[in-house]
């Protein structure tokens, strides 16, 4: 056997010198020439024979099997050609926090701790400018559901009892108490007018004046007593300016029209008459005003409990406000008619009715946390009533006759009662438009719980 034949016999498969029958004629190192060659870039065990680098073996060989045998071959990408993690694009959208309500909870923690139910939390959030659209950013459908989560997550508030002066027991005695107090101003006016009628012609002017002053003081005391508690009570919100404007408006009911009549006729020439009938009707209307305010507050709270959106609550409260004002106006009109029939004529019916509506709206705004708006409306009415005789007096000066022309035209068209009707009616319409907006908010009914409604869970 020749030396070449011995090498071919001892060469194993996979050696470079191995020969195959089908490639004996064109052997070129184990590669067939002339045909397509399949080439793969995946790492694998070399098939060309010979020893190879241990590092390459470590890349393509798995961990050693038990017993020392090499593990299965697993293709692994080399580190130098591994893909790098894609970089974040500059305009990529960042995800929000996992718990968006947490930041709001920390911001309004004091509000949630003081609240006795989720409705107070919802009212407080609405007062801070949180709307249903804002609640959607916190993954809630409306402010009410957001308030329920905040109330449940703040520790310690769920066990707080719904107690306090704003939530008395529901009983008939409570309603009877403030109803009787609301009758006090009317009773004082009736007693004073009766005393003046009985002493007419029997007592002198000074004695009758003393009776009138005593009756006025008694009526004012009864008014203060009627406003001390009940649905028209506004603890710590009524200002001295509001009381002064109220006294002016009531005084104009007594003396305003006779004074303006004397000014227009060239006076004033001396003491002028009084018109007590409208004042009597207004004093008696305090009781229906209290009941209208109570019904409005009671039904507004019930509407607040059953609402699931701020817009839904506002749409339900506006008819309640209009209904309360209309009901009071009807009761006031009947009382004014009875007072005029019982005591005689005198005084403007329309102006007194407009004044009653103005005082009711001003009190509602004060009770529900908007005393500044109430004072503004009353101040406008007082300014118009004071401006009318002032313009007439100023028109007497040379060259200023045009100043008195508007008052002259108004009085010639509708009488002296048109001035308080325009003053109080315009102010009442302004307050009604304002109350339609502010009293339809949930925050307006946060602290003003209706009398004798009971606890929040009743």
pLDDT at 16: 41
Answering whether pTM is above 0.85, one says no
pLDDT at 30: 46
What percent of the chain clears pLDDT 70, i.e. is strictly above it?
66
pLDDT at 28: 45
Confidence label for 38 from pLDDT (cuts 50, 70 and 90) = low
pLDDT at 276: 82
Cα angle: 98, vertex 102, 108; to 5 degrees: 160
Mean pLDDT, rounded, for 97-114: 69
Model confidence pLDDT, tens digit, residues 115-166: 666 767 777 777 777 777 777 777 777 777 777 777 667 764 444 444 433 4
Confidence label for 114 from pLDDT (cuts 50, 70 and 90) = low
Model confidence pLDDT, tens digit, residues 239-288: 888 989 999 999 888 888 888 888 888 877 767 777 888 888 999 999 99
What percent of the chain clears pLDDT 90, i.e. is strictly above it?
21
Average pLDDT, the chain: 74
Of 53 and 17, the structure prediction assigns the larger pLDDT to 53
pLDDT at 210: 85
State yes or no: pLDDT of 12 exceeds 50: no
**Matching residue, tokens 């009983």:** 171
State yes or no: pLDDT of 424 exceeds 90: yes
State yes or no: pLDDT of 405 exceeds 70: yes
pLDDT at 137: 76
pLDDT at 346: 65
Of 409 and 36, the structure prediction assigns the larger pLDDT to 409
Q: Long-range pairs for 162-168 at CB < 8 Å and ≥24 separation? A: 162/116, 162/117, 162/455, 162/456, 162/457, 163/455, 166/447, 166/448, 166/449, 167/449, 167/453, 167/454, 167/455, 167/456, 168/451, 168/452, 168/454
Mean pLDDT, rounded, for 331-342: 90
pLDDT at 286: 93
Question: Measuring CA to CA, which residue among 202, 235, 204, 189 is closest to residue 343?
Answer: 189
Choose from 93-97, 401-405, 428-432 the range with maximum mean pLDDT.
428-432
Of 54 and 198, the structure prediction assigns the larger pLDDT to 198
Mean pLDDT, rounded, for 12-22: 43
State yes or no: pLDDT of 2 exceeds 70: no
pLDDT at 413: 87
- Any residues with CB less than 8 A from the CB of 256 and at least 6 apart, and which? 385, 419, 420
Least confident span in 66-70, 236-240, 309-313: 66-70
State yes or no: pLDDT of 397 exceeds 70: yes
Of 399 and 96, the structure prediction assigns the larger pLDDT to 399
pLDDT at 46: 56
Confidence label for 225 from pLDDT (cuts 50, 70 and 90) = confident
Confidence label for 455 from pLDDT (cuts 50, 70 and 90) = very low
Q: Are 367 and 237 in contact (CB under 8 A)?
A: yes
pLDDT at 361: 95
Confidence label for 113 from pLDDT (cuts 50, 70 and 90) = low
């Amino acid at each position: 056997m020749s030396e070449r034949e011995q090498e071919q016999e001892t060469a194993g498969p996979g050696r470079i010198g191995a020969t195959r029958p089908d490639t004996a004629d064109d052997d070129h190192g184990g590669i067939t020439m002339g045909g397509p060659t399949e080439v793969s870039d995946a790492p694998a065990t070399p098939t060309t024979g010979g020893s190879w680098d241990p590092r390459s073996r470590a890349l393509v060989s798995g961990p050693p099997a038990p017993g020392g045998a090499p593990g299965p071959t697993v293709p692994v990408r080399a580190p130098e050609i591994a893909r790098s993690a894609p970089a974040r694009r500059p305009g990529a959208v960042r995800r929000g926090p996992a718990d968006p309500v947490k930041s709001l909870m920390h911001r309004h923690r004091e509000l949630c701790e003081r609240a006795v139910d989720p409705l107070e939390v919802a009212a407080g959030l609405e007062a801070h400018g949180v709307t249903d659209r804002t609640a959607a950013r916190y993954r809630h459908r409306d402010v009410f559901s957001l308030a329920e989560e905040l109330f449940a997550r703040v520790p310690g508030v769920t066990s707080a009892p719904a107690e306090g002066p704003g939530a008395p027991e529901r009983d008939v005695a409570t309603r009877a108490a403030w109803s009787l107090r609301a009758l006090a101003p009317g009773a004082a006016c009736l007693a004073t007018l009766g005393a003046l009628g009985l002493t007419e012609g029997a007592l002198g002017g000074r004695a009758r004046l003393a009776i009138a002053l005593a009756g006025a003081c008694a009526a004012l005391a009864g008014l203060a007593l009627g406003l001390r508690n009940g649905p028209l009570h506004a603890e710590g919100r009524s200002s001295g300016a509001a009381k002064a404007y109220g006294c002016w408006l009531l005084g104009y009911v007594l003396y305003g029209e006779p004074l303006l009549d004397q000014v227009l006729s060239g006076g004033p020439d001396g003491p002028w008459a009084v018109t007590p009938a409208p004042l009597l009707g207004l004093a008696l209307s305090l009781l229906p005003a209290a009941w209208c305010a109570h019904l409005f507050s009671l039904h507004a709270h019930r509407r607040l409990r059953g609402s699931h959106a701020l817009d839904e609550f506002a749409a339900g409260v506006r008819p309640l406000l209009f209904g309360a004002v209309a009901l009071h106006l009807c009761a006031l009109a009947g009382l004014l008619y009875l007072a005029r029939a019982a005591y005689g004529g005198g005084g403007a019916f329309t102006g007194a009715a407009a004044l009653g509506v103005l005082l009711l709206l001003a009190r509602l705004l004060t009770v529900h946390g908007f005393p500044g708006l109430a004072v503004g409306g009353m101040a406008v009415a007082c300014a118009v009533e004071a401006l009318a005789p002032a313009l007439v007096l100023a028109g007497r000066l040379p060259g200023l006759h045009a100043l008195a022309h508007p008052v002259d035209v108004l009085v010639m068209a509708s009488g002296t009662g048109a001035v308080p009707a325009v003053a109080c009616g315009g102010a009442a319409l302004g307050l009604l438009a304002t109350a339609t907006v502010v009293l339809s908010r949930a925050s307006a009914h946060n602290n003003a719980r209706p009398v004798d409604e009971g606890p929040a869970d009743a």
